[in-house]
Structure formats: structure tokens, C-alpha cells
Amino acid sequence: MKRRKLKKFVLPSIYGLSVICIFLTVYFLNSSLNFVESENRTDSSVTVQSDNEDNSEVSVVGTVALKPILPYQNPNVTISKSFYRMEDEAENQQKSLIYYENTYMQNTGILYSSDESFEVLASVDGIVKEIKEDEILGSVVTIDYNTNVTTMYYSLGKVNVKEKDSVKAGDIIGLSGANKLENEKENCLLFEVYKNGILINPEDFYEMNLEDLN
């Protein structure tokens, strides 16, 4: 049998095709790996995003502006006199009047009372601006949250802070005490809030975001 001699261009062509095949194989393998990696990365990012969403829901308090707190924690404290509203019905207005020495006065804050002594807390962060004695309402602590908002705590039987002290919301600034208003219990707190120099209802104040008060 006669042997056929391969032409000169055949071997280089085979080598070339082999190289191309190897290159294409590597290329497609690499592309496949990158695709899988990309898929995994996408999945992980979705998971992270989901985790972040969950965290944001759990830590809403940490991300949303905080609100003022009640100036007490004792569950036995009740509202003795509400804030007097000009727009209220006559019946509600009557319940918001304070009677002292044959004179009715509109309540300028919320008068809290209890049968037992209770701690008085700072409703917001601030600086103690002034501590004084009121002839009718006893010891008074004034705290500035900022130049726009001032909180005042009347009828304290004991004061735990000093002027220019820095306080945080929830800090104990004193204990409830007595005042000279008739028919009131021995443990009282009259809480007033001024916003831009105008008295506002503390009940409305508790619902405000602190960032809106700056």
C-alpha cells in the first residue's frame, strides 16, 4: 500500500485548530464561572438588602426621629387637670380650670397627681436654665431643649439638678410635691411646654418629632 504524505499545511492547521479549541474551551468555562459567580453575588446582594430592610424595620426607633417622653413613669400617676383649649367644648374647658382662692384659672399645662410620691423625668434633652420657688406651685425647674422649646416642671418636692446642668430625656430631675391649689393630692406635677414662646398642649408635644423642633 502506498503511503500518503501529509501536505505541509495540514499539521499547522491541526495545531491551530487545537489551540483555538483549547482557547474556546477555556473561554466558555471562564464565562460560565463568571456567570455563576455573578448569580451568587446577585443572590447575596438581595439577601443583604433583605437583611437591611429587616433591620430597618426592627430598628425603626433608631432611624426615625425620637419623640418627647412623659415626665414620669409611675403607672399610678393620673391627669388631674388637662390643658385648657380655647376650641374645646364648654364641658372640657370646665375640667381644665384650676380653682384657687375664689378664682378660676385656665390650666396652662397638664397637672398630674398621685397618691404616692413619683419621680419626675426630663421629657427631652436639654440644659437646666433656671430653678426657682413659686409661691403657689412650689419648686420649679425650667429646661431649654433649644432656643425654640422650653419645658417647665412645677410642684417638685425635691430637685435633683442644678442650673446649667445638661440632662437627657428620662433623667430624674426631682420628685413630685405639693402645691397650694385646692383639692389636689400631695404629690403633683404641673408640666408646661413653650414652643417659640407660646404655650402648647403637652399632649401634642409628646407626638412631635424632635427633629421638627430644631
Are 187 and 119 in contact by the 8 Å Cβ rule? The answer is no
Q: Which pLDDT tens digit goes with each residue over 86-135?
A: 877 888 888 888 888 888 888 999 999 999 999 999 999 999 999 999 98
Q: What residues contact 211, with CB distance under 8 A and at least 6 apart?
A: 65
Length of the chain: 214
What pTM did the predictor assign? Answer: 0.68
Quick one: CATH architecture of 78-213? Distorted Sandwich (2.70)
- Most confidently predicted of 4-8, 53-57, 191-195: 191-195
Q: Is 181 exposed, middle or buried (0-12, 13-18, 19+ CB in 10 A)?
A: buried
pLDDT over 70 at 33, yes or no? no
Q: What are the residue ranges spanned by the domains of the chain?
A: 10-59, 78-213
